[in-house]
């Protein structure tokens, strides 16, 4: 069989760290980056007798994510103990949700090469993170700062069919969580982590093949590479008459390969059972209604509205909504000057070039949306030529000054004085007799040459429409006279 006769099946499990200031079951700080073991209290350390108390904010964030992703949010859910032994888990169990998760169903609508696709979700549940083992040359160390940090696990249906789909889905999911402000989506710091389940099957076959679960992939590029490698590896095995083993595999960034970490035989029986220290999680209907009503407009909704109401091409709508601060900047500028396409062009081509990481906000820019709106308005009113507008923009980037002020201070307003333009044109015609003769002989495309001369004489400031009109008059009228 050739590789096109195989179909990949991918299902993703995403662990998203919720942006709460404290942990899921205690008031200990959940902030990232502190000195090891400085954010550990008796609850995170699993001291005997310490009791968990649920963090209300974390529950709210899980609800927010659930509603935004179209899930059914259950007003009654239950925490369960997932039992296993590992040094980074002092209690000997992780508090998670099992039989009764807070959310079920829902899905992510994402764009791939301009096509809208959907991957459904199985469930979203709340759970606490484990600590972290740090392997040093002289032994292994345990940092419990992360133990007890709130996570939601978002389990996707096995509906993705390529690494491209998986990556596009993840990017959209991450963007949605960032729009909601419930997760900062930092892959490197581990606040948005993904396990990829990958299997292959002969195209047309309904039954799924045996899957491998890939771990340790902390960038979109690595996710793409790990999945592609794994698909190729499995096809290779099957074509050689071998079997895919159900196992957990680790992606190695350096080699670009996945290697076996543990097989299914060593898989855990987690002996889940409801956590007796925690009552069922019961959400008041009014609370859930409040959360639902307060949801912000999501990237997909913005994309649609930008096309439908603002008349933007799909491409622009996509670029402008990839980070919420960019969408907000764009919308503020459009509110000040109603030319969405003009402003979209400036934001995409010029503004974004000045921002290192648009996701972190555009506040570092010296100017704001009002100044950009004013600039586009000046161009629309023919107060600035396109070329000069770029120069004004460059000054705006440096000083944050209003474009009208810059244009006045630097004498950049277009030259509309007919007498002055006619005098310049007369000089140009007198200095270029050969071109004038050719133009009059029918080589009208030389108009570009004359416009170029006029712009050179005025350093780009001649009003181009008026300049062209006057040039036409002079070139033609002399012809008739002569
Ligand atoms: P586990 O709890 O062992 O990880 P689940 O049944 O909960 O197993 O599935 C976890 C993830 O694996 C889900 O995202 C699901 O979509 C995906 N998945 C299940 N079966 C397959 C398969 N045959 N190929 C690829 N992905 C799969
Ligand atoms: Mg799994």
Domains of the chain with bracketed CATH: 3-290 (no CATH), 297-406 (no CATH), 418-481 (1.10.10.410)
Dihedral (CA of 418, 419, 423, 429) sign: positive
Contact 199 CB / ligand 1 (< 6 Å)? yes
Residue reference for tokens 């698909």: 231
* Ligand 1, atom 11: closest residue by C-alpha: 11
List, for residues 109-133, the tens digit of each pLDDT value.
Answer: 999 999 999 999 999 999 999 999 9
Atom of ligand 1 nearest to the CA of 155: 14
Task: Say how many Å lie between the CA of residue 256 and the centre of ligand 2.
Answer: 22
In this prediction, residues 261-279 reach a mean pLDDT of 85
The residue written with tokens 């006029």 in the block is 454
Distance between CA atoms of 114 and 160, rounded to whole angstroms?
Answer: 17
Smallest-distance ligand from the CA of 197? 1
Q: Kindly report the protein residue whose alpha carbon is nearest to atom 17 of ligand 1.
A: 11
Alpha carbon separation from 81 to 9, 96, 98, 271, 281 (Å, rounded): 30, 6, 8, 8, 14
**What is the structure's pLDDT at 2?**
67
Is pTM beyond 0.75 here? yes
What is the pLDDT, as a whole number, of residue 165? 98
* pLDDT score of 387: 83
Cβ–ligand 1 distance for 157 under 6 Å, the answer yes
For ligand 1, the distance from its centroid to the CA atom of residue 158, given in whole angstroms, is 7
* Mean pLDDT of all residues in 275-289: 98
Beta-strand relationship, 150-156 and 257-263: unpaired
Q: Which of 282, 284, 319 lies closest to 299, judged by CA?
A: 319
Query: How many residues appear in the chain?
Result: 482
pLDDT band at residue 261, thresholds of 50, 70 and 90? confident
pLDDT score for 448: 94
156 lines ligand 1 (CB under 6 A): yes
* Ligand 1 pocket member 9 (CB < 6 A): yes
The pLDDT value recorded for residue 347 is 98
Q: Which ligand is nearest to the CA of 169?
A: 1
Residue 205 has pLDDT above 90, yes or no: yes
195 lines ligand 1 (CB under 6 A): no
Percent of the chain whose pLDDT exceeds 70: 98
Residue 13 Cα to ligand 2 midpoint, Å, equals: 7
Output the residue whose Cα is nearest ligand 1's atom 8. 197
pLDDT for 382 equals 85
**409: helix, strand or coil:** helix
| pLDDT tens, position by position, 438-459 | 999 999 999 999 999 999 998 8
For ligand 1, what atom is nearest to the CA of residue 209?
23
Lowest-confidence segment of 6-10, 49-53, 136-140, 144-148 by average pLDDT = 136-140
- Distance CA(278)–CA(273), nearest Å, equals 12
Q: What is the pLDDT of residue 388?
A: 87
Judged against a pLDDT cut of 90, whether residue 386 lies above it is answered with: no
The mean of the pLDDT values for the chain is: 94
- At 482 the pLDDT is 41
How far does the centroid of ligand 2 lie from the alpha carbon of residue 60, in Å?
25
Tally Cβ neighbours within 10 Å of residue 236: 12
Per-residue confidence band for 479, with pLDDT thresholds at 50, 70 and 90 = low
**Model confidence pLDDT, tens digit, residues 81-113:** 999 999 999 999 999 999 999 999 999 999 999
Average pLDDT estimate for 452-481: 84
Q: Is the pLDDT of residue 263 over 80?
A: no
Q: How far is the CA of 480 from the centre of ligand 2 (A)?
A: 84
């Amino acid at each position: 069989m050739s590789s096109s006769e195989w179909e990949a099946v991918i299902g993703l499990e995403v662990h998203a760290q919720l942006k709460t200031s404290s942990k899921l079951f205690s008031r200990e700080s959940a902030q990232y980056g502190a000195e090891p073991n400085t954010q550990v209290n008796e609850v995170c350390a699993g001291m005997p007798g310490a009791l968990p108390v649920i963090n209300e904010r974390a529950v709210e964030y899980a609800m927010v994510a659930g509603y935004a992703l179209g899930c059914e949010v259950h007003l009654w859910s239950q925490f369960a103990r997932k039992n296993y032994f590992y040094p980074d888990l002092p209690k000997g169990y992780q508090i998670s949700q099992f039989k009764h998760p807070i959310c079920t169903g829902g899905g992510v609508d994402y764009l791939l090469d301009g096509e809208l696709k959907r991957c459904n979700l199985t469930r979203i549940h709340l759970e606490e993170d484990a600590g972290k083992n740090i392997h040093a040359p002289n032994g292994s160390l345990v940092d419990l700062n992360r133990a007890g940090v709130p996570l939601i696990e978002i389990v996707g249906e096995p509906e993705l069919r390529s690494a491209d789909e998986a990556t596009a889905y993840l990017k959209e999911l991450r963007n949605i969580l960032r729009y909601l402000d419930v997760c900062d989506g930092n892959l490197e710091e581990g606040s948005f982590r993904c396990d990829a389940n990958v299997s292959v099957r002969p195209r047309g076959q309904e039954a799924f093949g045996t899957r491998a679960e890939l771990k340790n992939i902390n960038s979109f590029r690595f996710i793409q590479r790990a999945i592609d490698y794994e698909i190729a590896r499995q096809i290779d095995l099957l074509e050689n008459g071998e079997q895919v083993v159900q196992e957990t595999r680790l992606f190695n960034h350096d080699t670009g390969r996945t290697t076996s970490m543990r097989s299914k035989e060593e898989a855990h029986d987690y002996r889940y059972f409801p956590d007796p220290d925690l009552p069922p999680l019961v959400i008041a209907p009014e609370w859930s209604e409040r959360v639902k009503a307060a949801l912000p407009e999501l990237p997909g909704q913005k994309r649609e509205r930008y096309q439908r109401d603002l008349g933007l091409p799909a491409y622009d709508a996509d670029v402008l909504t990839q980070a919420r601060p960019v969408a907000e900047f764009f919308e503020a500028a459009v509110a000040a000057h109603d030319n969405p396409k003009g402003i979209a062009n400036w934001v995409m081509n010029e503004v974004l070039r000045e921002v290192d990481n648009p996701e972190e906000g555009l506040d570092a820019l010296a100017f704001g949306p009002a100044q950009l709106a004013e600039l586009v308005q000046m161009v629309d009113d023919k107060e600035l030529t396109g070329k000069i507008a770029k120069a004004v923009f460059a000054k705006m980037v440096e000083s944050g000054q209003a474009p009208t002020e810059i244009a006045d201070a630097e004498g950049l307003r277009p030259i509309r004085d007919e007498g002055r333009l006619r005098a310049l044109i007369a000089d140009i015609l007198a200095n270029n007799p050969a071109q004038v003769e050719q133009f009059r002989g029918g080589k009208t495309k030389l108009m570009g040459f004359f416009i170029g001369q006029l712009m050179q004489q005025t350093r780009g400031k001649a009003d181009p429409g008026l300049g062209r009109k006057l040039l036409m008059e002079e070139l033609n009228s002399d012809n008739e006279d002569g």
